[in-house]
Structure 1
């Protein structure tokens, strides 16, 4: 990994501010930022401190896989009480909808209703592997700038592994750097949310699973959950691509970590 691959290592700038992705994910739009009003119950919400003293962070998410596209990454800055997803626990509805269908609507609704989430943003397009095997012209990394009050001490990042039945890549409740100009680099793994069987069939995956890697038009696909494939499981490390269906492990498989997340406090 070199400075040339990740320009934020050598110069400060946001590279790919983009748009909110809703439903089965659109590919463009304006950056979504959701901020909560300050309240007086910080201790109840897990903050333990009053708001104020806005802090600004730049968060860069990069796709490290050779053959797995991501939905636009969602980044939330929040108090430590927030848990969007947790390994070993059942997935909530927003995580299920993102993991199975690329649907961010329930997650955005959760953000809007949760005071402990102080701000959030969603990237403007899917992130494809650096080699761009489907010749999409889409980026493999994206940067977002977010500002929140001092009670937002932690960050969560989540995105769908598009060419899976119910896979996500992300970080759950990691601590933010506290000092201006301080930065941290995290590596994020893939997770199976345990809500849908891993058929690895294009007809059971969202349509871009095929076109973003192989190019051309998708042959079938769905952006709706199929009750016949439902599992009653918990979030766990993703087993990867087995090759039992339409997905070739040599094309769609990956080694962990699946993503790099760099966060810098800039103000």
Structure 2
């Protein structure tokens, strides 16, 4: 009888991909700024290998698309095509305003070496983004990190509305034919050098509190 029970459980696990392979995590993001909103969030669970960005290195075209225009599609496509990635998706579908919190779930295949990478643009900015790269998913309980805003270095920080998308400015997203600093680094904030008022839109790091909780 005991053998039959074990056999039945093994058969159920094998026939159910979620039971056999997947673990579920709840991700909570709180916007700590006083004047910036976060665009919809790109999120991916993956093994070591895929890199969202490296501080001091040039941003990929995919990351520039997100940092300048809030476009998650290129990152979803690139990460989704990588065999080391368990899940890649646009995890939220609306702006996250100052002081607001959003929750969503991500899945990862069974194993102890899965990581979480996520990113969202800060608006109104030229190419600022909030991100976590290669955060180890907890085997149990939860993990909390405080994260800064990064500068993609792909567009000049002119703070002009013509080059800033979103409800505040309504400008273009991805800018072509211009270069920024050329490398990813911690963002210096809004200085009021263009059309943005520093008192309204500047920030001090960290800009987000992120918690990842193992659900099953």
Q: Secondary structure at the match of 1:107?
A: helix
- The structure with more helix, counted as a fraction of residues: 2
For the pair 1:233 / 2:193, whether they are aligned, the reply is: no
Q: How many residues align?
A: 196
TM-score, normalized by length of structure 2? 0.85
Structure 1 residue ranges, 4+ long, deviating more than 3 angstroms after superposition: none
Q: Is the 8 A contact 1:61 1:73 kept in 2?
A: no
**Structure ID, larger Rg:** 2
CA distance in 2, matches of 1:98, 1:224: 8
For the pair 1:95 / 2:57, whether they are aligned, the reply is: no
TM-score, normalized by length of structure 1? 0.70
How do residues 51-200 of structure 1 correspond to structure 2 at under 5 angstroms? 52-121=20-89, 122-130=91-99, 140-151=100-111, 153-179=114-140, 182-200=141-159
- The structure with more strand, counted as a fraction of residues: 2
Q: Secondary structure at the match of 2:33?
A: coil
Q: Gaps spanning 5+ residues in structure 1: where? A: 1-37, 39-51, 131-139, 211-217
CA distance in 1, matches of 2:211, 2:135: 12
For the aligned residue pairs, the C-alpha RMSD in angstroms reads 1.6
Partner of 1:203: 162
Partner of 2:171: 221
